[in-house]
Structure 1
Amino acid sequence: MLTAAKSRWFENLFALYNSNLLRRRFHSFRIKGLPGLTEPDRSKPLILYANHTSWWDGLAAFQISRAAHLDAYLMMEERQLRRYFLFRKLGAFSVVRENPREAYRTLEYAADLLYEDPGRCLWIFPQGKITPAGKRPLGFYKGIGKLVEIAGDCRVAPVVFRYEFEGEYKPSIYAAVAECEVFVSGREVTVDAFEKEMEDLLLSLGNDIVSREFAGYRDLI
């Protein structure tokens, strides 16, 4: 596997590039629920699991992490990480889901990262690949459940993204973060429950977009 090789100076430089890139490509980036990620109590590591409908998801996740001042890491398909190898400097590490033994090694590595520093955050895309936004069921791999079990005491929350062409030349990004749920060692973990929570959050975000109800949203660009 390819491990993370975080570089603070590169991360700070990339943050400027990423903000400029998003401003050039998108009209806005509205997010609901960001204060839940910036709460002062970070005694337990945070796992954020997100839907994966676009190549932009990773860059959107990075933008959220910077806005919330998170020390974030990201699990990424090895084939893609070899292509975008500099992402290792941003905290990305690889997973090969087709190889169960290698995949489990990655989960152990991820859990170790969180155990070393409870202030850390890990992003994971349980669908494993870019998937059409309307596909149901979402089709989570079981790794999200295994990761929470291995990590033990942690906080977990879904994050959802939608990309919408509206009345502007450029599309808009919409995101929502649910309230963090605290997990303790030994608690039963079911992938179906994670999947259901994300589906509910996607429905809520969709309703906000249709009704144009954006109270509580913040624009990140």
Structure 2
Amino acid sequence: MLEPSPLALRDARLFGFFHLVFSRFFRRHMGALRVPPWGIPQDPEGRPLIVLANHPSWWDGVAFMLLPVAFFPRRQVFIPMEAAALAKYRFMRRLGVFGIEPGPRGAVAFLRTAKEVVAAPGAMLWMNAPGRFQDVRERPVAIAPGVTRLPEIAPDATVLPLALDYVLWTERRPEMLAAFGPPLRAADLLALDRDAREARIREALTETMDRLAEEAITRDPARFTTLAAGREGMGGIYDLWRRLSAWARGRRFEPRHAHGTKSG
């Protein structure tokens, strides 16, 4: 029995509600979501859009909820997920997430669904190119076999590499860093054989990841645009004491550990 189309299952109002839920969850547990100015994408309006990201963390799923709304508010995002994992979070099918079964039959079904998604006006496909968790420092960057077939089902699409990283700087909570690389034309990828196509996708994603890593090493929030900011400081009794001490001295309370830095 065929699964219902993700286009039919997706509920825009439910997606909007869970976007708020994920946003609040992010602010409770993360320091900030930051994107360098060079990593802000342009929407190739009127063309199918495929975003291919690396896969360093569980938090990638949260990034896939926040970044599409920030940069592509006129589009609906659809995301493939391992079917066994999706079975634990069936509500996510109403958010545009669809299952992928392992094996050749699963690959055929994925490409069929992906083709339906990218052909729909205003829809876009986001996926983790490695097809598995992979540390940001591991090289070469893995490219799942089905990724190289995407230009074949959407030759007029724009393909955007997306680098994701999670770092601890001077505050208690980690930073989520993201950057989009220069767009690739699916037609140009289609002109290559599959081995060369895989190499070109890997090269584009690796270059974007490396450039984002250079920004992360600076530990300078001023080099980024901040899309969302979480709580600052230690919290609890420690920050209460610091707040009272600042008040007693007639000073403004600064919750950040590194007073010389800005949130962006």
**What TM-score does the superposition give when structure 1 sets the normalisation length?**
0.90
Counterpart of 2:41 in 1: which secondary structure? helix
Counterpart of 1:84 in 2: which secondary structure? helix
Instruction: Check if 1:87 corresponds to 2:92.
Output: yes
> Contact (CA 8 Å) 2:169, 2:219: kept in 1 or not?
no
The 5-angstrom pairing of residues 135-174 of structure 1 reads 135-174=138-177
* Alpha carbons of structure 1 residues 87 and 99: separation in structure 2 relative to 1, 3 Å: same
> Bigger relative contact order, structure 1 or 2, given CA contacts below 8 A and separation 6+?
1
* Cα shift at 1:211: 2.4
**Which residue does the alignment assign to 2:125?**
122
The 5-angstrom pairing of residues 185-204 of structure 1 reads 186-188=190-192, 190-204=197-211
> Contact (CA 8 Å) 2:34, 2:225: kept in 1 or not?
yes
* Cα shift at 1:99: 1.0
**Which residue does the alignment assign to 2:111?**
107
For the pair shown, the structure with the greater C-alpha radius of gyration is: 2
Q: Distance in 1 between matches of 2:60 and 2:12?
A: 21
**Which residue does the alignment assign to 1:18?**
22
> Contact (CA 8 Å) 1:63, 1:220: kept in 2 or not?
no
* Alpha carbons of structure 1 residues 163 and 76: separation in structure 2 relative to 1, 3 Å: same
* Alpha carbons of structure 1 residues 14 and 50: separation in structure 2 relative to 1, 3 Å: same
* Cα shift at 1:24: 0.6
Q: Distance in 2 between matches of 1:75 and 1:177?
A: 19
Q: Distance in 2 between matches of 1:16 and 1:47?
A: 24
* Cα shift at 1:62: 1.3
Moved over 6 A (4+): none
**Which residue does the alignment assign to 2:246?**
none
Aligned counterpart for 1:209 among listed residues 206, 216, 225: 216
Aligned counterpart for 1:218 among listed residues 218, 225, 236: 225
**Which residue does the alignment assign to 1:50?**
53
**Which residue does the alignment assign to 1:73?**
78
Aligned counterpart for 1:61 among listed residues 59, 64, 68: 64
Counterpart of 1:42 in 2: which secondary structure? coil
Q: Distance in 2 between matches of 1:215 and 1:142?
A: 38
User: CA RMSD of the aligned region, Å?
Assistant: 1.9
Q: Distance in 1 between matches of 2:138 and 2:149?
A: 23
138-147 or 28-37, which moves further after superposition?
A: 28-37
* Cα shift at 1:213: 5.5
Aligned counterpart for 1:176 among listed residues 170, 176, 179: 179
Q: Distance in 2 between matches of 1:20 and 1:57?
A: 16
> Contact (CA 8 Å) 1:73, 1:92: kept in 2 or not?
yes
Counterpart of 2:176 in 1: which secondary structure? strand
Return 5+ residue gaps in structure 2 as ranges. 229-264
Return 5+ residue gaps in structure 1 as ranges. none
* Alpha carbons of structure 1 residues 24 and 124: separation in structure 2 relative to 1, 3 Å: same
Q: Distance in 2 between matches of 1:36 and 1:214?
A: 19
* Cα shift at 1:212: 4.0
Q: Which amino acid in structure 1 is aligned with residue 187 of structure 2?
A: V
Instruction: Check if 1:30 corresponds to 2:29.
Output: no
Larger helix percent: 2
> Contact (CA 8 Å) 1:77, 1:128: kept in 2 or not?
no
> Contact (CA 8 Å) 1:208, 1:214: kept in 2 or not?
no
